[in-house]
Amino acid sequence: MARSKKTHKHYKSQNSTWRIIAKNTFTLFNIVNIILAVMVFLVGSYKNMLFILIAIENTLISIINELRAKRIVDKLKLLSEQKPTIIKDGKAIQVDPASVKPGDVTVLSLGDQILYDSILTSGVIEVNESFITGEQESIEKHPGDKLISGSFIVAGTAEAKVETTGEDNFVTKLQTEASYIKTADSKLFSLMNKIVKYISYSLIPIGALLLWARFRTEADTTTAVTSTVAALINMIPEGLILLTSSILALATIRLSRKKILVQDLYAIETLARVDTICLDKTGTLTTGKMTVHDYTALEKSFESALKAILSHQTSENATVTTLRQKFLKTAKDDATEQIGKITDVISFSSERKCSGVKTKNAEYLLGAIEFITDDKSLIKQVKSASGGYRTLAVVKREDKSRSRSIFGDGPNTERLSPATAGAMERSENDFCPHATLLGYIRLEDEIRPTAHKIVNYFYDNDIAVKIISGDDVAAVTEIAEKVGVKDLRAIDLSSLNHKNYTKLVQDYAIFTRVTPSEKKELIKALKKQGSTVAMTGDGVNDILAMKEADVSLAIGEGSDAARRASKFVLLDSGFEAVPSIIDEGRQSINNLERSTSLFLAKTVYASLLAVLFTFLPLNYPYIPIQMTLLNFVCIGAPGVILALEHNTERIKNKFVSNIKHYSVPTGIIIAIAMIILSTIATVNHFDKPLLTTLSAIITFAIYTVLIYQISKPLNLFRAAILAFVIIVMVGALLLPLTRAIFEFI
């Protein structure tokens, strides 16, 4: 078992492919198996070496899983390998990325990726920040605006002053936290690893003592060696991890047919155990598209001002597209003549949170009311009228006594945010421009048709629903109520100075105005209280929370980085696929938990016999080739077939009960039966073939009872499994060819 030391740990993709292969190949478990195989080879009993095939398969599975993890991490490199151009001694030169320092001025043009957090000093560019937001919207940047590393230039040329480099960059900090793989919290895999770990360390001393004892009691070297090897390989449930990986691989294939990409096999089990799911509003409960619910014109110039703003927007985003479809009949329908000649334009900026146009006498702004005016009465008026919808206001600002505004005094003047402009005016002459509310538009998110059904599925399956969003509390709560979220206790995290996340996750179910780091803290708090948490996301701003969650799901149309960081990718972006994943996980895990008792029963009796036969002067009752047959007939075949049965019951965590009620009693019974049989054989001088044949028959009979017990209530499918097992074993005992191969009398 190659991964016994790596369960549930974070590790970075710092190993080369060859190092990963070597690390998973040269393990204690594999070394023991190789030694045992060599021992059997040296005594010429070649067919008894079949057990080594399972060890090889286990090693291959471990290598493949870790290489897959390495590939995912390597793809998470968010900065491209490009050489930046800087201005030095008045000349533009290309330099090594590591040589750039804060204060250097870089030249940016179409197609470039921004390598450093910077401040735009000259020029106007459009930037794609989907890296951060998950939204494929370009944002216009002007001198004074901040440029975030990892973004791309989609239009224009500019110069920018570098603020931070290296590990201080936003993208580097995010990549550092994102560039690890957290193995899925698989209870089944953890149990297997613990068993294999402890048994692997005990094999060497037990094997040495057992071999010494066999040489005292067995007639020849070949018999002594093969019986010792049979005892040792029987102690390890080698087939259990192979069965588990195979069943989960089949589940992965079935999910792929439903357009679901599984990036971690064991995450299927984790999602099946989830009791809390954290959803984002945009892209999960909603499609990410918007429609105009209604609008209110308070002044005659409302529509003409709105049309002028929309027709002069150079950047395209979902909001602008929605408003244009509603208010602009033609591309030139700007109504400019109604408000005056346009002298300047402001496109939407993530810094300003608004857009607008300027005429000779006024400024017309479009945005959330709190970002385009400081007038508390207007803010209150719009907020009270929003009704839970995302509401954009159109405001006219007049200030004939001053030329300073968010538009600046000219092409080389630094543009300011409305809040900054207002603050400067108040500080200089205690004067704020007069603002008139022309009207407002209420926008409605398009809810996914299946959202209500999916939310009900979570509640029906005892999965708590939490909503974590960066949007306004009223808008998020409105959507949550429409899709059937029962717990509507909401909190705006931006309104809190001090945040006790443990108390927040207990007191609220909807969290709004949440930053990426706050999303992560909320997930940590939920896990701390004992929840198994799933997190959905579609943007890079979701990565930290997705990494922290026990299992993560990415929407297919989201950012590449979010998809690579997740355990599951919903390729058709349909959130309705989540129940399919949970059902697949339940089928696999419920059936595997039942099959586990078959493997662990062998571990119990084999361990007992290995220890007892070290001290008892009796012939060991098994040989490797017969154990290979018993493992297939009594454990492997029924375990696999039972694991394929349709079963979507809720996970009941039967590990302990299986061990207590099935594995331990069965193992003890077989061990006692073998001691009695070996004693009788020694007293009556049975030859070795007779002893091993009787041992195989008795072990098979006891296992048949165990298979019946775990198959109850017996239906046609399970009865067929029982019949198959009996027919195969009886055939092996009676057919001349198989009798010769397996050394039955």
What are the residue ranges spanned by the domains of the chain? 85-178, 183-256+582-741, 260-286+447-576, 293-445
pLDDT exceeds 70 at position 573: no
Sign of the four-CA dihedral 494, 498, 504, 507: negative
- Measured CA to CA, the distance from residue 371 to residue 485 in angstroms comes to 30
Strand arrangement of the beta sheet that strand 354-358 belongs to? 286-297, 434-447, 390-398, 363-367, 354-358, 344-346
- Measured CA to CA, the distance from residue 661 to residue 664 in angstroms comes to 7
CA atoms within 13 A on the CB side of 552: 29
Encode pLDDT of 144-169 as tens digits. Answer: 888 888 777 877 788 999 888 877 77
pLDDT computed for residue 386 by the predictor: 86
Pairing between strand 152-155 and 158-162?
unpaired
The one-letter amino acid code at 256 reads S
Encode pLDDT of 180-209 as tens digits. Answer: 555 556 676 677 777 777 777 777 788 788
- Measured CA to CA, the distance from residue 110 to residue 201 in angstroms comes to 60
pLDDT computed for residue 264 by the predictor: 76
Q: What percent of the chain has pLDDT over 70?
A: 79
Reply yes or no: is the peptide bond before residue 84 cis, omega within 30 of 0.
no
CA atoms within 13 A on the CB side of 553: 30
Tokens 């009223």 — which residue? 474
pLDDT computed for residue 140 by the predictor: 76
Tokens 């900090």 — which residue? 173
Average pLDDT of the segment spanning 285-312? 88
* Residue range 183-256+582-741, CATH number: 1.20.1110.10
Looking at per-residue pLDDT, the higher value among 588 and 11 belongs to: 588
pLDDT averaged over every residue in the chain: 79
The one-letter amino acid code at 208 reads A
* Residue range 260-286+447-576, CATH number: 3.40.50.1000
Q: What topology is assigned to 85-178 in CATH?
A: 2.70.150
Other C-beta atoms closer than 10 Å to the C-beta of 518 total 21
Band of pLDDT at residue 19, cut at 50, 70 and 90: confident
Per-range mean pLDDT, top range of 71-85, 170-184, 570-584? 570-584
Looking at per-residue pLDDT, the higher value among 8 and 244 belongs to: 244
* Residue range 293-445, CATH number: 3.40.1110
The one-letter amino acid code at 429 reads N
pLDDT computed for residue 691 by the predictor: 94
pLDDT exceeds 50 at position 101: yes
Per-range mean pLDDT, top range of 79-93, 112-126, 407-421? 112-126
Q: What are φ and ψ of residue 664, in 5° steps?
A: -65, -50
**Full-model pTM:** 0.66
Q: What percent of the chain has pLDDT over 90?
A: 21
pLDDT exceeds 50 at position 430: no
